[in-house]
A = this chain, B = another copy of it.
């Protein structure tokens, strides 16, 4: 297929490239190829949708097509994890320019399938359209399997705040890439493909978590959502965060700022953070603070953090 362009193939031929030989889990009654897919769930359905746009959420000179496919699936499935649900299937809507190389398309599809395997979900359908720019929307269908969903609004005074997964790796990677570098490799790779802690949403639910969210806007911003929804104050201890070596290296190389900023404000790693009754934090999770009575805000070492924007907004002039 080398060198061929999307416009040279028909829509159905392209869809066949994605769906040929597609495996499916035992909860998938009908996969891709009919008007709709059909899934059999054990409990309530959790559903979330997530869009990635070329040159807004990814750049083709920074990320391979495989990376982009993996990231699109990972970011979306993380939202289901954050409800304590188990991802069952995803549908992927892809818009691409007609002059795009077919190789990009097939590598993207391979990335989607790889990450579906990692996350334990099935690719069950999608749509393919032409656009001036690559736009990818993934929707995850997840199964609460008889459990109650974990909300943002359930945090209670006295809870411990804990996270699982990586914080600030993608942000450190973005800082490096933005300045034209490609190392430290570990953070660059993390920016290209997040590694959400698949399965830990259910672990949190089974441990009795009171609230949960995935870190997509940055820890402070996302804990701010829990604080607002639960009407509580969240207090973090900076000493509880372990700064990884590559984050130290990036901060030093790029001007000596405090590398904690990456962990507190960086999104896109899709860690899970939540609040637990004291003593109920699962193993593998790191306690970084507590829930207290007070105004709906997030404090670090007892004070409002004073470094720049606390999160990522796509619109607005603040950024």
A120 within 8 A of B: no
The CA of A204 and the CA of B129, in the complex, are separated in Å by 30
Pick from A35-43, A180-188, A286-294 the stretch touching chain B.
Answer: A35-43
Is A131 within 8 A of B125, CB to CB? no
Q: Once the chains bind, are B49 and A139 in contact (CB under 8 Å)?
A: yes
The answer to whether the Cβ of A220 comes within 8 Å of any Cβ in the partner chain is no
Per-position binary interface string of chain A over residues 12-35, scored 1 when its CB falls under 8 Å from any chain B CB and 0 otherwise: 101000000000000001100011
In the bound complex, residues from chain B placing their C-beta under 8 Å from that of A153 are 34
| Partner among B7, B35, B48 whose Cβ is within 8 Å of the Cβ of A37 | B48
B-chain residues with CB within 8 Å of residue A139 when the two chains form the complex: 47, 49, 91, 93, 137, 139
A135 within 8 A of B: yes
The reply to whether A135 and B95 contact each other, CB–CB distance below 8 Å, is yes
What are the residues of chain B within 8 A of A281 when measuring CB–CB?
none
How many chain A residues touch B (Cβ–Cβ < 8 Å)? 72
CB pair B93–A51 under 8 Å, yes or no, is yes
A135 touches B131 (CB 8 A): yes
Q: Is the CB of B137 within 8 A of A8?
A: no
Which B residue sits closest to A312, measured CB to CB? B11
Residues of B within 8 A of A149 (CB): 29-30, 34, 36, 38
- Interface stretch among A82-90, A109-117, A160-168, A249-257? A82-90
Chain A 76-120: CB-based contact to B (< 8 A → 1; otherwise 0): 000110110100010111010010000000000000000000000
Q: Are B314 and A47 interface neighbours, CB within 8 A?
A: no
A to B CB contacts below 8 Å, 7 in the list: A30-B151, A41-B41, A51-B127, A52-B129, A56-B129, A129-B314, A131-B135
Chain A contact residues, CB within 8 Å of chain B: 6-12, 14, 29-30, 34-41, 44-53, 56-57, 79-80, 82-83, 85, 89, 91-93, 95, 98, 124-133, 135, 137, 139-142, 144, 149, 151-153, 212-214, 229, 313-318
